[in-house]
């Protein structure tokens, strides 16, 4: 179980830009009710959505990524891994989420609390939860892509931190923070791999 982060998010922009954003994130569930999903603005590649990762033995070979279709279980081929790494920098779903959303799973339990328009300005208020921290890359990318201003008040459960973030960042800050984020993630993964490999020797 992660430490959950509680997010109260205000999104402000021209009513046309806000409408385009809202159209992108809204969907219908099995009961015909509206739901909201920020990750629709930057969805995970289809090839990663049905992929399982971890450790599993298939035909006597231990693999770290595989597909399951009913009773059929097959490993991801190395050439597919290489292509996905070239296209998406990873072949692992969780790594892709951290790389592109800034946290695991993006937004969860997302609710639209209010929707107000004054002249040409429309303001949305959302509540959502996220794992371990706010999905900062997702929010910054949304602000840039849809020409919006976003203020996110976040609070990590059990007193593990809180704050207020505003988006979009400047192009310079975006590049610097994204580069640092990717570097830190890669360093962490390398350290985990070293520990895992040492334990299996």
Pairing of strands 149-156, 26-28: unpaired
Helix, strand or coil, per DSSP, at residue 180: helix
pLDDT tens over the chain, length 201 residues: 789 999 999 999 999 999 999 999 999 999 999 999 999 999 999 989 888 888 899 988 999 999 888 778 999 999 999 999 999 999 999 999 999 999 999 999 999 999 999 999 999 999 999 999 999 999 999 999 999 999 999 999 998 899 999 999 999 999 999 999 988 988 887 776 666 555 544
Question: How deeply is 197 buried, as exposed, middle or buried, from its count of CB atoms within 10 A (0-12, 13-18, 19+)?
Answer: exposed
Distance from first CA to last CA of the chain, Å, rounded? 29
Q: How far is CA 175 from CA 39, 140, 148, 168, in A?
A: 21, 11, 19, 12
Of 161, 142, 139, the closest CA to residue 152 belongs to 139
This prediction has a pTM of: 0.89
């Amino acid at each position: 179980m992660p430490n959950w982060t509680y997010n109260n998010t205000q999104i402000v922009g021209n009513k046309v830009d806000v409408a385009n954003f809202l159209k992108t994130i809204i969907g219908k569930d099995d009961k015909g009710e509206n739901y909201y999903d920020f990750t629709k603005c930057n969805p995970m590649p289809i090839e990663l959505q049905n992929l399982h990762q971890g450790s599993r033995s298939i035909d006597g070979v231990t693999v770290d990524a595989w597909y399951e279709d009913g009773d059929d279980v097959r490993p991801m081929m190395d050439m597919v891994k290489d292509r996905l790494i070239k296209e998406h920098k990873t072949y692992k779903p969780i790594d892709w989420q951290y790389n592109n959303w800034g946290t695991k799973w993006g937004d969860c339990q997302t609710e639209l609390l209010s929707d107000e328009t004054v002249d040409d300005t429309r303001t949305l208020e959302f509540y959502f939860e996220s794992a371990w921290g706010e999905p900062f890359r997702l929010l910054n990318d949304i602000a840039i892509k849809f020409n919006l201003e976003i203020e996110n008040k976040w609070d990590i459960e059990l007193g593990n931190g809180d704050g207020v973030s505003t988006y979009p960042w400047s192009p310079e800050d975006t590049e610097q923070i994204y580069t640092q984020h990717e570097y830190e993630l890669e360093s962490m993964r390398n350290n985990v791999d070293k520990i895992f490999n040492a334990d299996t020797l």
